[in-house]
Amino acid sequence: MNKHVTPSIFLMIVLVAFPQISETIYSPSLPDISVAFGATNSSVQLTLSIYFVGFAVGVFCWGWISDFIGRRPAMLGGLLFYGIGSFMCFYADSVAFLLFSRLIQAFGAATGSVITQTILRESVSGSKRHAMFAQISAVIAFTPAVGPLIGGWVDQVYGFKAVFFVLVIMSILLFIYAYLRLPETTNDSTRKKVAIFPVAKRIISSPRVLVFGLLIGGINGILFSYYAEAPFIFIEHFHMSPGLYGFLGIVVALASIIGAMVSKKLLNKCQPEKIIHLGCLVMAGGSLFLVLVATLTILPNLMVIISMLMAIFIMLLGAGIALPNCLSLALVGFQDVVGTAGAIFSLGYYFLVSLITFGISLIHNGSLMTMPLYFLVISIMMLALGKKYIVIH
């Protein structure tokens, strides 16, 4: 089969989106899980950060393996691990076992991210690739919101165990869909075992590639740290129901979708590097606004909630503008080893996502100010890095 054959865009969206749903679907259940397992809020938040440890290892393994066994077997193998991990999450009866189960689940789910991006990078090039990443980003931006929306309602009606059962069913359907519809996009002549260390050396030797990794990790780290901390802010502090909290994900989704649409539109007028800088600038402004809002505790709760959501919208609008271009540009020049390069690159930035989400659980203290200040520091660092190493150079 010709290596430039690309599966349907809908299949690509489904496969790249399900890891995000798996990450966020049970975030409304975090307070309930804390009570049910007799665990602290911080320890339950670790089930989010541990997900990205497994995810980081997974993207490395599946991406590297796919270079010499093909994209289809790697995808199906990952989905099988994902199903096993989902079953384990459903049967978990302690935080320790849930942590291990999430590790297995994430290891398998990683195939959806790295293999899908690899297929797109090797099948499409130039401005068409930028536009396709923007299009996919606009669509899958809604998936983090779908998770809490489904999870909040299921938890409120049936309990948090039912949320994990939803993931079990999803894993079965995904495997069947990929088995029936995913073609192989490489052939025997292009499958090869690529030496890891030379590729890693090429990546480490490029400050530009490293900064792209820091930006992608920072953007996703902020997004998923929000999902780790927000349930305790809105459900515990402001006394929202899990079902109502789930609807707040629409704010996140709209911000990301609009940001990706703006990014795609700006490609007709601006270089992708300039768009990335603009996105980082908007993120920093939104983070600063969120810090200011967190000081307005004398105002009625409804006003504080609305103001916080406005600030979060601005911040994630910037993320939606920057992220598609970072993903598209990150591995330009690595087409000869795109699977292995994608594996190593993703390993690095997903470990960063794990560290950032671990950081929010480490400093969790129940204060409204903790999350905004954390996001402001990270977004300012991203803005400075992007300005120095991407826009100028």
pLDDT in tens, 261-284: 898 889 888 888 889 999 999 999
The rounded distance, in Å, linking the Cα atoms of 64 and 58 is 10
Provide the residue range defining the domain that includes 81.
9-185+194-391
* 25 in Cβ contact with 150 (< 8 Å): yes
Q: Count Cβ neighbours within 10 Å for each residue of 36-47 and write b for 16 or more, e otherwise.
A: bbebebbebbbb
Position 246 in a domain: yes
- Mean pLDDT of the residues in the chain: 87
Which pLDDT does position 84 carry in this prediction? 97
Which pLDDT does position 331 carry in this prediction? 84
The rounded distance, in Å, linking the Cα atoms of 165 and 147 is 13
Q: What is the CA radius of gyration of the chain?
A: 20
Identify which has the larger pLDDT, 267 or 167: 167
Position 128 in a domain: yes
Position 230 in a domain: yes
Position 174 in a domain: yes
pLDDT per position as a tens digit, 28-75: 999 999 999 998 888 998 998 899 899 999 988 888 788 778 889 999
Position 232 in a domain: yes
Of 128-132, 195-199, 305-309, which gets the smallest average pLDDT? 128-132
pLDDT per position as a tens digit, 132-159: 666 676 666 677 778 898 999 999 899 9
The rounded distance, in Å, linking the Cα atoms of 352 and 132 is 25
Tokens of 275: 């768009």
pLDDT per position as a tens digit, 210-231: 999 999 999 999 988 998 999 9
Which pLDDT does position 382 carry in this prediction? 93
Q: Where does the pLDDT of residue 373 fall: very low under 50, low under 70, confident under 90, or very high at 90 and above?
A: very high
Which of 100-104, 138-142, 330-334: highest mean pLDDT? 100-104
- Look at the pTM and tell me if it is higher than 0.85: no
Position 2 in a domain: no
* Separation in Å, CA 33 to CA 245, 334, 356, 357, 358: 16, 43, 22, 18, 18
Q: Where does the pLDDT of residue 116 fall: very low under 50, low under 70, confident under 90, or very high at 90 and above?
A: confident
Tokens of 85: 């991990």
Which pLDDT does position 1 carry in this prediction? 42
**Which CATH number goes with the domain that contains 250?**
1.20.1250.20
Position 1 in a domain: no
Position 4 in a domain: no
Q: Count Cβ neighbours within 10 Å for each residue of 215-229 and write b for 16 or more, e otherwise.
A: bbbbbbbbbbbbbbb
Overall number of domains in the chain: 1
